[in-house]
Amino acid sequence: MRLNRSSTRPLMLVTALMILAALAVLIVSCRDNAGQSSTGAQVAGATEDINAIAEARGLTPTDIANAVKTYTPSGRHDEYYLFASGGQSGQVYVIGLPSMRIIKQIAVFTPEPWQGYGYGEQGTMDVLAQGGTAANGNPLTWGDTHHPALSETGGDYDGQFLFINDKANARLAVIDLRDFETKQLVKNPITLSDHGGTFSTPNTEWIIEGGQYAMPLGFEYSSIANYETDYQGMITFWHFDRDKGRIDPEASFAIELPPYWQDLCDSGKLVSDGWVFCNSINTEMATGGVELGNPPFESGASQNDMDLMHVINLKKAAEVAAAGNTTDINNFPVITLDTAIAEGLLYFIPEPKSPHGVDVTPDGEFIVIAGKLDPHVTVYSFDKIMAAIETGTSDTDQFGVPILDFDAVMEAQVELGLGPLHTQFDNKGYAYTSLFLDSAVARWSLGGSFDELNDDPPWTLVTKTPVQYNIGHLVTAEGDTVSPDGTYLVSMNKWAVDRFMPVGPLLPQNFQLLDISAPGANMPVLYDLPIPDGEPHYAQIIKADKISPWDVYPEVGWNPHTQAVNPDAAKQGEERIVRDGNNVEVYMTAIRSHFTPERVEIREGDHVTWHITNIERALDATHGFTIPAYNIHVSIEPGEAVTFEFDATQNGVFSYYCTEFCSALHLEMMGYMLVEPSDSASAATD
């Protein structure tokens, strides 16, 4: 082998691969022969250096292959964006694949100082206020984010918007992917906890928010002794207005459901477009009370061999809601359970056993349920469900909801292992299911039109890859669309245990990247990424070229909350301080390396409205702004105009300054706010 160092780029790549192949052999032989390598003489000096590094670091040939699959040189961009829920952080993470580099955290339900989210800037204060207040009247300042959903066009991610739910408070958020900022929070008006959200219909007309723990809809008190009569489940369909980039609560509605605990949902697509599938747990309607001698929830809610998958005719339900055939609860239109039954909007299908995930295959034909207390996945056929609805059934639950015959609609059951939770898909006719108790990812083959895509017989377990440890969700590239990619899978593990250096009793979560590009039994783990900020649940992965965010805001004076120029924004050359009685308005601009004005003189007791426009047009020329002691911090990105308000309650001298190291003279980018004491102020007026 001859290495040509002046070769062209493709040649260099070939050379590099040859080096790696040689290296793999070399390391094995090094280990066998205690450093006496027979192939070592054949490769050039640089390669021996690599070999020495690998040796010193104890890297195996597999490690090196994995490194080459994920290593992303400085300056090179990733192939995919992964959007992950941030769990208890209430935020969303943005991660590049295959490098697994965390690129951004998007502030959603929780104030975030760097982005100036919830520290005075009016737009973000308004967004957080939309999320409602806590029981003590204070703002809610966290969320338990679970399931992000990218907007879709024709069943494919279109890269325009991202939605995510807050399970703790039954809220949704809308994030605009032009600037990766949260634009809207919506509080569910009839229930307190959600879990089955967010899921998008194939053209994002509807964002699905399923509930979780049954309660009296509308939050009114009722004794738990009245559980079966006064407590309800629900599913809410939020209408998304794509032109406005906002959920339109006026055009949204909910359906009342029995007080089972509805868990996850998925939207139909292609053949099943217009239908929605949600599973449920606790069809036993256990109400707990272990302290009174009752069975505890975890066993009380796990008695039945079958729970009930909810099959909902969304298309028809939307017509029923539009026709006004609803009841208002807290001024929100709700289709009652009786109406849902009478109009044929709701059917049940038995599903084993305390299931967790429900996932629709890319062709829309099959619905996969994973029962966490059953070692199988159960697959239902949409065709058969439609036929069974057509035939009709006399079987109902105690609330009168028709139950379809399990055998008539079940297509297949595949035994995978212990604790199956969630399922994703690829482009080779495989499905991937997380096995929580086995701590593994199972690859299994689909039937139907997917059968021809691989050599494995339909509906069979193909292989399992162990993951570290106790996987919850998994996500494949473009995995919820009509055309998944089949390149990468990320295993979202609940426990890290020994994977990272110790950091005390609270350990990070562990995201693991798997290469699923080869068929059959080959499905290696490539990389571990610790997540230090909450327990993410679900994520979605989209091709990088589908996302085209703005470099800088389109025009100077931009208001990100209206996505338009704010006519009242401070303008260069028109900076000023205007007083009207006790109201003071400050019009300020920011550019490297000064604020104009640099002195703001006001009086104690003034109400201050302060506008700042970043008049920069250069990429990444962000300025931050803080007034110490007033808990004000804003981030002003190029072109952005921000406004914040406060009462000048504390007199004294306040040095405001830029908080982003923006230039060599960044430390000089400051000014003084002088707040004259009120007694001397009145003295001055006299």
Residue 69 to residue 385: CA distance in whole angstroms: 43
Residue 190 to residue 338: CA distance in whole angstroms: 18
Residue 130 to residue 185: CA distance in whole angstroms: 6
Q: Is 542 within 8 Å of 171 (Cβ atoms)?
A: no
Q: According to the binding rule CB under 6 A, does residue 662 interact with ligand CUA?
A: yes
In this complex, which beta carbon is closest to ligand CUA, that of residue 585 or of residue 660?
660
Residue 443 binds which of ligand CUA, ligand K7E, none (CB < 5-8 A, kind-dependent): none
Identify the three-state secondary structure at position 129.
Answer: helix
Minimum CB–partner distance for residue 356 and ligand K7E (Å): 5
Minimum CB–partner distance for residue 558 and ligand CUA (Å): 18
Q: According to the binding rule CB under 6 A, does residue 281 interact with ligand K7E?
A: no
Contact mark string toward ligand CUA, 587..626, x via CB under 6 A: ------------------------------------x---
Identify the three-state secondary structure at position 46.
Answer: helix
Q: Which stretch binds ligand CUA (CB under 6 A): 2-10, 27-35, 271-279, 659-667?
A: 659-667
Q: Which stretch binds ligand CUA (CB under 6 A): 124-132, 385-393, 410-418, 658-666?
A: 658-666
Residue 686 to residue 683: CA distance in whole angstroms: 5
Residue 63 to residue 72: CA distance in whole angstroms: 15
- Pick the closest to residue 337 from 253, 399, 263, 265 (CA basis): 399
Minimum CB–partner distance for residue 435 and ligand K7E (Å): 12
Minimum CB–partner distance for residue 649 and ligand CUA (Å): 27
Residue 659's contacts (CB-CB under 8 Å, 6 or more residues apart) are 623, 624, 625, 626, 633
Residue 413 to residue 357: CA distance in whole angstroms: 15
Q: According to the binding rule CB under 6 A, does residue 472 interact with ligand K7E?
A: yes
Residue 163 binds which of ligand K7E, ligand CUA, none (CB < 5-8 A, kind-dependent): none
Residue 464 binds which of ligand CUA, ligand K7E, none (CB < 5-8 A, kind-dependent): none
Identify the three-state secondary structure at position 598.
Answer: coil
In this complex, which beta carbon is closest to ligand K7E, that of residue 253 or of residue 538?
538
Residue 623 binds which of ligand CUA, ligand K7E, none (CB < 5-8 A, kind-dependent): ligand CUA
CB atoms within 10 A of CB 348: 24
Residue 367 to residue 78: CA distance in whole angstroms: 32
Q: Is 211 within 8 Å of 220 (Cβ atoms)?
A: no
- Pick the closest to residue 89 from 420, 479, 429, 535 (CA basis): 535
Q: According to the binding rule CB under 6 A, does residue 640 interact with ligand CUA?
A: no
Q: Among residue numbers 98 through 157, which ones bind ligand K7E (CB under 6 A)?
A: 146-147
Q: Give DSSP secondary structure letters for 407-468.
A: HHHEEEEEE--S-EEEEEE-SSSEEEEEETTTTEEEEEE--GGGGGGSSSPSS-EEEEEE-S
Contact mark string toward ligand K7E, 417..456, x via CB under 6 A: ----xx----------------------------------
Q: According to the binding rule CB under 6 A, does residue 372 interact with ligand K7E?
A: no
In this complex, which beta carbon is closest to ligand CUA, that of residue 428 or of residue 623?
623
β-pairing, 583-591 vs 607-614, is parallel
Q: According to the binding rule CB under 6 A, does residue 658 interact with ligand CUA?
A: yes
In this complex, which beta carbon is closest to ligand K7E, that of residue 178 or of residue 195?
195
What strand order describes the sheet that includes 652-657?
Answer: 599-603, 670-676, 652-657, 623-627, 632-636
Residue 666 binds which of ligand K7E, ligand CUA, none (CB < 5-8 A, kind-dependent): ligand CUA
Q: According to the binding rule CB under 6 A, does residue 171 interact with ligand K7E?
A: no
Q: Which amino acid is located at 241 in the chain?
A: D
Binding residues for ligand K7E, total number by CB under 6 A: 11
Residue 349's contacts (CB-CB under 8 Å, 6 or more residues apart) are 308, 309, 311, 380, 385, 403, 404, 406, 409
Q: According to the binding rule CB under 6 A, does residue 537 interact with ligand K7E?
A: yes
β-pairing, 149-153 vs 488-493, is unpaired
Q: Among residue numbers 494 through 523, which ones bind ligand CUA (CB under 6 A)?
A: none
Q: Is 627 within 8 Å of 657 (Cβ atoms)?
A: no
Minimum CB–partner distance for residue 559 and ligand CUA (Å): 20
Beta strands (DSSP E) in 477-614 are 488-493, 509-515, 525-531, 539-543, 558-559, 564-565, 576-580, 583-591, 594-596, 599-603, 607-614
Among 438, 637, 660, 676, binds ligand CUA (CB under 6 A): 660
Beta-bridge partner residues of 430: 445
Minimum CB–partner distance for residue 532 and ligand K7E (Å): 18
In this complex, which beta carbon is closest to ligand CUA, that of residue 121 or of residue 411?
121
442's tokens = 């199972």
Residue 376 binds which of ligand K7E, ligand CUA, none (CB < 5-8 A, kind-dependent): none
Minimum CB–partner distance for residue 507 and ligand K7E (Å): 17
Q: Which stretch binds ligand CUA (CB under 6 A): 70-78, 241-249, 640-648, 657-665?
A: 657-665
What H or E segment, with its residue span, contains residue 15?
helix 9-32
Residue 147 binds which of ligand K7E, ligand CUA, none (CB < 5-8 A, kind-dependent): ligand K7E
Residue 660 binds which of ligand CUA, ligand K7E, none (CB < 5-8 A, kind-dependent): ligand CUA
Residue 195 binds which of ligand K7E, ligand CUA, none (CB < 5-8 A, kind-dependent): ligand K7E
Q: According to the binding rule CB under 6 A, does residue 356 interact with ligand K7E?
A: yes
Minimum CB–partner distance for residue 623 and ligand CUA (Å): 4
Residue 447 to residue 430: CA distance in whole angstroms: 9
**Which residues in this chain contact ligand K7E in the complex, by CB under 6 A?**
146-147, 195, 264, 356, 421-422, 472-473, 537-538
**Which residues in this chain contact ligand CUA in the complex, by CB under 6 A?**
623, 658, 660-662, 666, 669
